[in-house]
Amino acid sequence: MAVGHHTRYVSIAKEATYNSPELTADAVGEVESETMQQTYDILKRSDMNYYGSAKAVTSKLMSSGAVTMALQPDAFTLMCLHGITGVDSGSAADDARVFTEIGVGATDTLPSYTVMCGRDESEHVFSGQVIDSISVSSSIGEYAMLTVNFTGAKQNDDNGALHTTLPAYTGDAAHFSKAYVNFEAGVNTSDFSPHVQSIDFEIRTNRDLDNTYSLSSDTCIRKPPVTTREITGSITFHKSLVASISSDVAKNEPNINDLMSGANALKNGSIAAPALSALFYVDADNYIQFEFPKVIYEMPETSVSGRDSQTMTVNFHALYDLADANSMMQIRCKTSDTTVADYDAL
């Protein structure tokens, strides 16, 4: 347990200049755990005079870690989602906020953050952090969960006094009975597949940390550049789906017969009718919806035993859509947390 009042927390602030600490938080998260740490390489010298290395220095200082929390549409979560997409469209027709990926050839870059971790007696400050990946998971009987992985420059020396700012969001997080998945169509609380038992996916930016250093510096001097974006995941159904059972294909779920030859594994939808969409719903004013317009499925995996009933798991990969989306994903969300009004303007 914490030894004092509000002495454990994670807050973040968007940086105006890379690795210039912003010590006033833009948002405070309702975080379950965090593992932010500094690491460094050790550079050893060997020579023929001794049977072991006699000299060494530290080299290439960096920080990284993960923040895990229940998936809820608060300003902290939306800042993290903006950190892997980069474009905030503000209000859409249904008064929702839409995050889209920075387009091919755009001059914009994904933001960097200062992450501040309260740890009982002092605040540990990690500036120059970018989001390397996020993972979302949801399964029967559990809250939907979000894990955000940061990476970037070394930890700051100016660890300071604890702050007591509390999260502004007062709502709950999404849980299993308000998680909805649909296939080849939009998703809402009345139009979804009734067969999904769990879903998890990871969105990776695959940051190139090695190419952020230069001579004369022991840590990152620029944002770790994004390389090939990857989106992978898996969906488990509560029974094996086959095309001969009409109720199982009514929502266009991937089924064994359809994917057997591999010819029907690729599903090329659109933003209006994504190949795969997942809605994590709290109420009409608080939700997060992930839309993947184009996906390809692997062959389903299914098995039975004397103890367990049959289930079916399908792995998938989201692809870049060359049609109307011109992206790999879109995130539509709405929040009652007005802490951040415009994520692009931070």
Reported as a single tens digit per residue, the pLDDT across 84-137 is 999 998 765 566 899 999 876 666 689 999 999 998 888 999 999 999 999 999
Confidence grade of residue 294 (pLDDT, cut at 50, 70, 90):
very high
168-172, 233-237, 304-308 — which one is most confidently predicted on average? 233-237
Contacting residues for 140 by C-beta, under 8 A, at least 6 apart: 176, 197, 198
Distance between CA atoms of 131 and 14, rounded to whole angstroms? Answer: 12
Amino acid at position 147, single letter: T
Q: Are 136 and 142 in contact (CB under 8 A)?
A: no
Lowest mean pLDDT among 105-114, 134-143, 182-191, 314-323: 105-114
CA-based nearest residue to 115, from 211, 39, 214, 31:
31
**How many CB atoms sit inside 10 A of residue 4's CB?**
11
Q: What is the residue extent of each domain of the chain?
A: 8-44+63-154+168-337
Q: Is the pTM of this model over 0.85?
A: yes
Q: Are 171 and 190 in contact (CB under 8 A)?
A: no
Would you say residue 247 has pLDDT above 90? Answer: no
Distance between CA atoms of 176 and 180, rounded to whole angstroms? Answer: 8
CA-based nearest residue to 330, from 103, 108, 99, 135:
99
